[in-house]
Amino acid sequence: MSRPGFVLEVDDRTPPLLVHEGEGFRLERFPTGTRVIYPPESLPGIRDIDAAIANALENPENSEPLRALLRPGMRLTIAFDDVSLPLPPMKRPDIRQRIMEQVLTLAAQAGVDDVEIIAALALHRRMMPSELQHALGERIYRSFAPQGLLYNHDAEDKDNLEFIGETEKGEEVEINKRAATSDLIVYVNINIVPMDGGHKSVPIGLASYRSLRHHHNSHTMVHSRSFMDAEKSAMHHSAWRMGRLLKEHVKIFTVETTLNNDIFPEPIGFMNKREWEWGVRDQANMLAAKRGIALAPKKLKRKIFEDVRSAYGITGVHAGETEAVHAKTLENCFKQQAVEVQGQTDVLIMGVPFIGPYNVNAVMNPILATCMGLGYFFNSYRNMPVVRKGGAVILYHPVQYEFNQLHHPSYVDFFEEVLAESTDPATIEKKFEKQYATDPWYIHLYRTSYAYHGVHPFYMWYWAAHAMDHVGDVVWVGGNRKAVERMGFRAASTLNDALEMVSHTVGRSPSITYTHNPPHLISDVR
């Protein structure tokens, strides 16, 4: 049986603890009294995954079985989560492949032959052929891709969008035309955090900018407490309204899956464990990894990390009506990730790892590092933030002044032009967002190359809006000074320096909390 999440108080017997910092990690000694929040250990994975999938499709939540929804002559569209999930990518076979093979088998048995498969990437970059093959497997890729029946959603293809209507709050709902005009959409989801899934899948994954801007904006993001808590997230409220409207127009059958915490494969499996329980072998692996990473040239180092494939266990497969399915998913997610934490802290410390949803096979640039630390990790709470209002956040990441030109062309310009003018999300939204969102070159690169949409860096910045609004101070340990300062933060070379720097905000003997992730955790702050 796995053990629940755990809060450690650092004393003089506590060994140095592992902290992620981009393409590397360090062992840090924290001040005595620091609270360290560990995620629960991995839940056991389902033994027979294919049987679990078959069962979910046959006995869905609040819906007829999938086979009953299939009939000859119908239009069936299968949509699936893109390359941003899971992190790191999953060892083959990917769960999306397993589900889709069963869905396609059922469709074939029912005589459905109008089937299209769409990567629901919203404004993310398109998936490359190799990535599609990895997620869906050779068989599906070869049968569908060459005929143009497996493709990336294109949020800028005006001819292939369908306007559905407006919600009671005036939010415009516009999604992929093929999906909107199908008799059935089957959405195949991977839920790594409680933020994803539910009505975020179809109304967001298959939407256009016109539709997305109603919730992906600084105001909504500042008013989400947190993204991991759908009940308190203004963004989710908006997506939910859109989802309910959409449901009246098109039948959606949702399949959601949850993963356990086995994200680090051997030989870096020690990262999944608690330091004082490292065995001789873990110690040896840790030293070898640390040495290897320290010695590796930058390119090789990057490749080592980009090549990580995880052997996740699947903790749940649920299918059927979106909201009923999502309720089960959230239960599983929280069971795996929630840790009860007593009270807030003055200083929150977080290590930012090498990968986030938007830099698969690319360097994590400064904006994405910020989004990861202040957007995702900061928001990994229920009830209230781990750090008190006006407290300080200390992040570990090198924040290199480096951008991947293929995937993130508008990020470079955002960093150089927009952040030079202002770092305030509302200000930059007003002054720059529309220009970037409608820039024909970014649109061209999004549609034909592998670039994130021009507006994407704005969204990443907005993710961090709630944290920037909430905390008084942000310091990056080991961060490139120039890059960090451009974003309005400060850089320190050691934890002690960082604590010294934030002492103006939180005093000389602040309470300190370190959230020991990844693997992912959600602090349930009481």
Residues that bind another protein (CB under 8 A): 412-413, 416-417, 435, 438-441, 444
User: Whose Cβ is closer to another protein: residue 177's or residue 434's?
Assistant: 434
Give the shortest CB-438-to-another protein separation in angstroms: 8
> Nearest distance from residue 209's CB to another protein, in Å?
16
- Nearer Cβ to another protein, position 435 or 493? 435
Eight-state DSSP code of residue 271:
G
| Residue 290 Cβ vs another protein, minimum distance, rounded to whole Å | 37
Quote the least distance from Cβ 443 to another protein, whole Å: 10
Indicate the residue among 59 and 435 with the shorter CB distance to another protein.
435
User: What is d(CA 256, CA 445) in angstroms, rounded to the nearest whole number?
Assistant: 31
Burial group, residue 469, by CB count within 10 angstroms (0-12, 13-18, 19+): middle
- Are the beta carbons of 144 and 102 closer than 8 angstroms? no
CB nearer to another protein: pick between 395 and 428 = 428
Comparison of 369 and 445: residue with beta carbon closer to another protein:
445
Angle, CA of 136, 178 and 115, to the nearest 5°: 45
The answer to whether 95 and 49 have CB atoms below 8 angstroms apart is: yes
**Shortest gap between Cβ of 430 and another protein (angstroms)?**
17
> In terms of CB distance, is 314 or 367 closer to another protein?
367
CB of 412 to another protein, least distance (A): 7
By beta-carbon proximity to another protein, the closer residue of 324 and 412 is: 412
What is the distance in angstroms between the CA of the first residue and the CA of the last residue of the chain? 26
Q: What is the DSSP string of 129-173?
A: HHHHHHHHHHHHHHHHGGGT-EEE--TT-GGGEEEEEE-TT--EE
Least separation, in Å, of the C-beta of 155 and another protein?
18
Half-sphere exposure (CA, 13 Å, Cβ side) for 322? 25
Q: Which is nearer to another protein, 105 or 435 (CB)?
A: 435
Residue type present at position 460? M
- Write the single-letter amino acid at 348: L
DSSP reduced 3-state for 222: helix
Instruction: Please check whether residue 17 is in contact with residue 28, taking contact to mean a CB–CB distance below 8 angstroms.
Output: yes
Number of residues in the chain: 526
Q: Are 470 and 389 in contact (CB under 8 A)?
A: yes
Angle among Cα 339, 520, 16 to the nearest 5 degrees reads 85
Contact 329, 228 (CB under 8 A): no
- Cis peptide preceding 60, ω within 30 of 0: no
Considering all CA atoms of the chain, what is the largest pairwise distance in Å, rounded to the nearest integer? 71
Closer of 86 and 409 to another protein (Cβ): 409
Quick check: 76 and 182 in contact, CB under 8 A?
yes
Quick one: which of 107, 196, 405, 109 has its CA closest to 117? 107
Q: How far is the CB of 437 from another protein (least distance, A)?
A: 12
- The smaller minimum CB distance to another protein, of residues 141 and 209, is found at 209
Contacts of 408 (CB under 8 A, 6+ apart): 359, 362, 365, 368, 451, 452, 457
> Smaller CB distance to another protein: residue 148 or 440?
440
Q: Is 177 exposed, middle or buried (0-12, 13-18, 19+ CB in 10 A)?
A: middle
Tell the smallest beta-carbon distance from residue 361 to another protein (Å): 22
Q: Read off the tokens for 402.
A: 């480096």
Smallest gap from residue 506 Cβ to another protein (A): 36
Cβ proximity to another protein: between 136 and 445 the closer is 445
State the minimum distance, in angstroms, from the CB of residue 270 to another protein: 43
At a CB cut-off of 8 Å and minimum separation 6, what does 412 contact?
403, 405
Strand positions, DSSP E, 399-488: 473-477
Per the CB < 8 A criterion, the answer to whether 362 and 503 are in contact is no
| Least distance to another protein, CB of residue 365, Å | 15
